[in-house]
């Protein structure tokens, strides 16, 4: 049974992050996910300081606010003339450092250690359960399910708006779409996804799950919806194969899952029909063979 919960948690991380990550890739803001995955620590610590509890709900609220704050600060620095990557670098290291300082200053004796936040421990997921409506499931599964529902609802309602504001924000603005509100709503979802996922796989590996499957799907897809489906599929594949390989080699589960994301990406990059790397090399060789030898 424990194995089932771990697999389910991993797969849910794959699905939720895969879904959310698609627009990070398309909007070329993958690095903001990196930033948010670190600054949610700040949000969680502040939420703990204010409420003196480690309840999942307040963690989500704190993370959402931290994500919005990150997005807002990055935007602010950018409009002040800083480049986006520099703005992200400054904001997330500062907020993360504040988070670490606050933990050691105000939450030293609570189970909120930095290593746990960064690496997570998916193997312990089955023992931390919540009872909601008579169902007892691991807390991580509940949180991921709730966040997945939010993500799905957002895309069901705003799929075409997300598509247009991502592809052509200037045109989107000209027909009156609220592009700023869309951006902040989406970044809130990225923050929620991050905090729901990092409890099990850790903040660093959330980034792998958010970006890797979507980047792999980008190589495969001709439509946004196709990319979403592939991205979720790659997320689940990485989670399941990663789990069994970790078991086989007796190594870190989350680490193996993230490694599998890299493996899947390389496989697609190399062997994708028509424009995979191998295919291209092969085609080039064929052209050379058929070229007349003028000497």
Partner 1 sequence: MDALQVTNLSVAYEEKVVLQNVNLTTPVGHLTGIIGPNGAGKSTLIKAILNQLPNKTGAVHILERPLNPKDHLVGYVPQRNAVDWDFPANALDVVLMGRYGHIGMIRKPSAKDKQIAMECLKNVGMEAFADRSIGQLSGGQQQRVFLARALAQEAEVYFMDEPFVGVDAATERTIIAILKDLKAKGKSVFVVHHDLQTAADYFDWMILLNQTITASGPTEQTFTEDNLQEAYGGKLFFMDQTKLNKTFN
**List of residues contacting partner 1 (CB under 8 A):** 26, 28, 81, 157-158, 160-161, 163-164, 166-168, 170-171, 173-177, 218, 221-224, 226-227
Which CB atom, from 109 or from 174, has the smaller least distance to partner 1? 174
Q: Which of 260, 220, 200 is nearest to 236 (CA)?
A: 260
DSSP letter assigned to residue 111? S
Q: Which of 55, 30, 19, 6 is nearest to 254 (CA)?
A: 6
Which CB atom, from 173 or from 285, has the smaller least distance to partner 1? 173
Which CB atom, from 5 or from 265, has the smaller least distance to partner 1? 265
Element housing 136 (H / E): strand 135-138
Nearest distance from C-beta of residue 169 to partner 1, angstroms: 9
Nearest distance from C-beta of residue 219 to partner 1, angstroms: 10
Nearest distance from C-beta of residue 174 to partner 1, angstroms: 4
Which CB atom, from 135 or from 157, has the smaller least distance to partner 1? 157
Q: Which residues pair with 138 in a beta bridge?
A: 129
How far apart (Å, rounded) are the C-alpha atoms in residues 173 and 71? 20
How far apart (Å, rounded) are the C-alpha atoms in residues 246 and 211? 21
Nearest distance from C-beta of residue 24 to partner 1, angstroms: 14
Which CB atom, from 110 or from 153, has the smaller least distance to partner 1? 153
Q: Are 213 and 18 in contact (CB under 8 A)?
A: yes
Nearest distance from C-beta of residue 172 to partner 1, angstroms: 8
CA distances from 211 to 2, 88, 137, 176, 256 (A): 28, 16, 28, 30, 16
- Torsional sign, CA 76, 82, 85, 91: negative
Q: Which of 3, 18, 7 is nearest to 235 (CA)?
A: 18
Nearest distance from C-beta of residue 30 to partner 1, angstroms: 14
Which CB atom, from 8 or from 177, has the smaller least distance to partner 1? 177
3-class DSSP state of 131: strand
CA atoms within 13 A on the CB side of 209: 39
Which CB atom, from 109 or from 223, has the smaller least distance to partner 1? 223
Nearest distance from C-beta of residue 182 to partner 1, angstroms: 10
How far apart (Å, rounded) are the C-alpha atoms in residues 132 and 139? 10
């Amino acid at each position: 049974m424990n194995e089932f919960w771990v697999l389910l948690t991993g797969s849910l991380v794959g699905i939720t992050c895969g879904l959310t990550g698609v627009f990070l890739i398309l909007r070329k803001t993958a690095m903001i996910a990196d930033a948010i995955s670190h600054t949610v620590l700040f949000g969680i610590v502040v939420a703990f300081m204010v409420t003196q509890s480690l309840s999942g709900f307040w963690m989500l609220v704190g993370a959402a606010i931290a994500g919005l704050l990150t997005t807002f600060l990055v935007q602010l620095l950018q409009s002040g003339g800083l480049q986006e990557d520099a703005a992200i670098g400054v904001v997330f290291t500062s907020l993360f450092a504040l988070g670490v300082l606050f933990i050691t200053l105000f939450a030293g004796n609570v189970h909120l250690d930095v290593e746990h936040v960064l690496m997570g421990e998916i193997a312990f997921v089955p023992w931390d359960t919540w009872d909601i409506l008579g169902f007892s499931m691991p807390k991580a599964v509940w949180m991921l399910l709730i966040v997945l529902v939010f993500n799905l609802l957002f895309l069901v309602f705003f799929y075409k708006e997300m598509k247009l504001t991502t592809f052509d924000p200037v045109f989107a603005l000209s027909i009156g779409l609220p592009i700023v509100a869309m951006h902040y709503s989406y970044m809130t979802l990225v923050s929620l996804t991050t905090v729901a996922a990092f409890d099990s796989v850790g903040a660093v590996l959330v980034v792998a799950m958010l970006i890797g499957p979507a980047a792999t799907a980008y190589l495969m897809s001709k439509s946004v919806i196709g990319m979403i489906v592939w991205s979720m599929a790659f997320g689940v594949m990485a989670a399941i194969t990663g789990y069994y390989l970790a078991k086989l080699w007796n190594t870190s589960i989350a680490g193996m899952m993230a490694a599998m994301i890299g493996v899947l990406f390389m496989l697609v990059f190399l062997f994708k029909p028509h424009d995979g790397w191998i295919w291209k090399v092969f085609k080039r060789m064929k052209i050379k063979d058929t070229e007349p030898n003028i000497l």
